[in-house]
Chain A
Amino acid sequence: AQSVTQLDSQVPVFEEAPVELRCNYSSSVSVYLFWYVQYPNQGLQLLLKYLSGSTLVKGINGFEAEFNKSQTSFHLRKPSVHISDTAEYFCAVSDYGGSQGNLIFGKGTKLSVKP
Chain B
Amino acid sequence: DTEVTQTPKHLVMGMTNKKSLKCEQHMGHRAMYWYKQKAKKPPELMFVYSYEKLSINESVPSRFSPECPNSSLLNLHLHALQPEDSALYLCASSPGQGSFGQPQHFGDGTRLSIL
Using Cβ atoms and an 8 Å threshold, which residues of chain B touch A108? 40-42
Using Cβ atoms and an 8 Å threshold, which residues of chain B touch A51? 100-101
Using Cβ atoms and an 8 Å threshold, which residues of chain B touch A34? 103
Q: List 15 A-B contacts (CB under 8 A).
A: A32-B101, A34-B103, A42-B108, A43-B4, A46-B103, A88-B40, A94-B98, A97-B98, A99-B98, A100-B55, A100-B56, A100-B98, A101-B97, A103-B45, A107-B42
> How many chain B residues touch the partner (CB < 8 A)?
26
Contact assessment for A43 and B108 in the assembled complex, using a CB-CB cutoff below 8 Å: yes
Instruction: Compute how far the CA of A43 lies from the CA of B108 in the bound complex, rounded to whole angstroms.
Output: 4
Query: Closest residue of chain A to B98, judged by CB?
Result: A101
Contact assessment for B45 and A94 in the assembled complex, using a CB-CB cutoff below 8 Å: no
A90 within 8 A of B: yes
Measured CB to CB, the residues of A under 8 A from B are: 32, 34, 36, 41-46, 49, 51, 88, 90, 94, 96-97, 99-103, 105-108, 110
B107 within 8 A of A: yes
A41-B111, A94-B98 known; 14 new pairs, CB 8 Å cut-off, are A43-B90, A43-B107, A44-B92, A46-B105, A49-B103, A90-B43, A97-B98, A100-B56, A101-B99, A101-B101, A102-B56, A103-B104, A105-B43, A108-B40
Given contacts A34-B103, A100-B55, contact A44 B43 (CB under 8 A): yes
Query: Closest residue of chain B to A33, judged by CB?
Result: B101
Using Cβ atoms and an 8 Å threshold, which residues of chain A touch B104? 103
Given contacts A49-B103, A51-B100, A102-B48, contact A44 B90 (CB under 8 A): yes
